[in-house]
Amino acid sequence: MSLKEVYNEQPKIFKFSDKNQKIIDEILKKYPDSNKKSAVMPLLYLAQKQNDNWIPLAAMKYIAKFLSIPYINVYEIATFYSMYNLAPVGKYFVQVCTTSPCLIRGADKLIKVCKEKISSKERKLSENKRCSWMEVECLGACVNAPMMQINDDYYEDLNENNASEIIESLLNDKPLKPGSYRGRKNTSPEKNKNLNGNSSK
């Protein structure tokens, strides 16, 4: 991990869409008026969703003004959490977990695949601009290590080969289906199919 770089081509203005504005009204209802600054994280996430999965500076300024908190506070939060992207990511955004359990199960090999197939540096777009990748800390799927998250889906129980296939499919814009790549259902034990609910009989 290194400090996130802010994209150098920034849009001048940012405005939430009407649909999102309604969602914001709902979010703000959750917080008392005196503490509406607590809404900064959901708002940043919403801005990210609206703007092709990255947050422009204009959006941070907009949110700071909207919640009447200092701009630097919004900026601090956006740089602190790895889920906020400050530069454009690919249509398929690959996040590889490299925390201990995944690393023991071979996450470094997935990183190697990403470096070869997508781009040599994290957060850099692939040549056809469809894909980008980054290392992240634990994504909470240690039982299915190693794993990676592609946009909102988890791809689990990977090895070098099927990770390579998955990324190939992303680059060709025909993504494979998410889930376990060793035929497990969710996190159920692999050998004892009896405990697997539906396939016992």
Partner 1 sequence: MPKIVINGKEIEFDKGMTVLQACELANVEIPRFCYHEKLSIAGNCRMCLVEMDKSSKPIASCAMPATEGMNIKTNTEFVEKARKGVMEFLLANHPLDCPVCDQGGECDLQDQSLYYGVDKSRFSENKRFVKEKYMGPLIKTQMTRCIHCTRCIRFATEVAGVPELGAIGRGEDMEITTYLEKSMESELSANVIDLCPVGALTSKPYAFEARPWELKKTESIDVMDAVGSNIRVDTYGWEVKRILPRINNEINEEWISDKTRYACDGLLKQRLDTPYIKKNGKLVKTTWDEAIQLICEKINTTDPKLIGAHVGDMVSLENIFSYKKFLNAINCTNYDFRERNFYFNPSDKINYLFNSSINNIENSDLILLIGCNPRHEATMVNARIRKSFVKNKTPIYSLGDVGDLTYNYNIIGETTENLKEIIKGKNEFSRKFLSSKKPVVIIGESALELKSGKFIFEEIKEFLFKNNFINKNWNALNILSQNASTVGCIDLNFFNENKDDELSFFEKIKNNKFELIYLLGSDNFELVKKNEFIVYQGSHGDRGAEIADIILPSPAYTEQDGMYINLEGRVQECRKASYPTGQAKEDWKIFNLILKKLKNEKLFHNYEDLKKLTLDQIKNFSGIDNLPNNIFKINKKLNSEFFNEKILINEIDYYFTNSIARASKTMSDCRNVKFKSLKEGTNN
Q: Which stretches of the chain bind partner 1, using CB under 8 A?
A: 1-4, 61, 64-65, 70-73, 75-76, 79-80
Q: Taking Cα atoms as reference points, which of 4, 185, 1 lies closest to residue 111?
A: 1
Please, what is the minimum distance in Å from the beta carbon of residue 72 to partner 1? 4
What does DSSP assign to residue 91?
S
Q: Which is nearer to partner 1, 4 or 193 (CB)?
A: 4
Choice between 11 and 70, CB closer to partner 1: 70
**CA–CA dist 167, 145 (Å, integer):** 17
Contact (CB, 8 A) for 73 and 60: no
The residue among 42, 91, 102 whose CA lies nearest residue 66 is 42
Rounded least distance, CB 71 to partner 1, Å: 5
Least distance between partner 1 and beta carbon 64 (Å) = 7
Within 10 angstroms of residue 76's Cβ, the number of other Cβ atoms is 12
Residue 179: beta bridge partners?
Answer: 155
| Residue 13 Cβ vs partner 1, minimum distance, rounded to whole Å | 12
Nearer to partner 1, 117 or 123 (CB): 123
By C-beta, is 34 or 198 nearer to partner 1?
A: 34
Give φ, ψ of 111 to 5 degrees: -60, -45
